[in-house]
Homo-oligomer: A and B are copies of this chain.
């Protein structure tokens, strides 16, 4: 029989009872109020079409000034399938880098769809079910958000229709199969299902699609079928970001277990939901005076799509077709077409208004990396940790290694 050795614990685990009971909403803690949405038709403050495609509870959360929002039991019940997620101590990477620093990472890859996206897909599906919606529509690029929504819809017996950018649809057949397995319909966009899709196909039958086109199709589907269908979004909006705070709230409990507190928190930003889900609760510690350290927040983006490091902080549309209201954000312009890099989830021209406000108020820092240096960092991570990170979080890994 071998003697017990003192191997460091790799995974810091919580019980299902530790799944947060409330989400944290950063809005009341921001250094200044968020500027309002502008209705693209009237050019005056207003939410435009938004109230026609979201349930009331989601609209309420989007505008909420409440700091803490209760998580329904039905949502926590589904969260239990994969939450709480492990916080890993990166013992292999620390050894490889010969660093005295302790490196931790929160691993959301154990969710049924493989990413953090179900954290918001589940409550969105639940509120829609509660308010009588029969079907959810959405767009997806690489497929992570589409499969998360397909999973969430299945959990509450809702139908789901996903418009997937044709280039991805052709390249990633497994993502489509995953959505189908959860019972969702998945169409290559532009599709024959909508007027906007048909119009594009008539002019260019081989059109490879774009996230902008897919959003237009999903929103049109929800507007045309207003009685039975609603639209669901995977990032950028406040309600999405606040649903993701279960990630940071769990991490706070896990850091308490190992009696540690972060000096720096790194995350990657596409629309901003994964990074916000992690750092918002620590930002609350900071503004409420609870933080034992001056924690730095660092958002990492791709040099191919540097909205915060190089973009302007102005009012812009979230979609290419300009159906959605104008929002105040760092943007490269709604018609910006990023290079086809691997980190598809970071190829969004704008960013969540909350991130933009915090960046302009110097509450967070931003760094941009190119995909070659990011892939080299991911390789170090794979060989030392044994886990293959997605291209998006590899940007944060690059920053942490530096």
- A interface residues (Cβ-Cβ under 8 A, vs B): 1-2, 4-5, 7, 9-11, 13, 15-17, 21-22, 70, 73, 76-78, 80-81, 110, 112, 151, 154-155, 174, 178, 181-183, 382-383, 385-388
Contact = CB atoms under 8 A, between A and B. Distances in A.
B16 A154 contact: no
A111 to B, nearest CB: 9
A113 to B, nearest CB: 9
A73 B3 CA distance: 10
Given A80-B10, A81-B386, A1 B16 contact: no
7 contacts: A1-B70, A2-B73, A5-B73, A13-B13, A81-B385, A182-B388, A183-B382
A251 to B, nearest CB: 17
Contact of A388 (B11, B178, B382, B388): B178
B387 A81 contact: yes
B81 A2 contact: no
Contacts of A178: 388
A151 B7 CA distance: 21
Contacts of A383: 154, 183
B11 A382 contact: no
A388 B10 contact: no
B112 A388 contact: yes
A80 B155 contact: no
Contacts of A73: 2, 5, 7
Contact of A382 (B2, B13, B77, B154): B154
Contacts of A21: 1-2
A70 B155 CA distance: 43
A94 to B, nearest CB: 14
A70 B3 CA distance: 11
Nearest to A78: B386
Rank and list the top 4 A-B pairs by shortest CB-CB distance, nearest first. A10-B80, A81-B386, A112-B386, A181-B388
Contacts of A2: 21, 70, 73
B13 A76 contact: no
A154 B80 CA distance: 32
A149 to B, nearest CB: 13
A323 B9 CA distance: 44
A80 B88 CA distance: 10
B76 A7 contact: yes
A22 B1 CA distance: 8
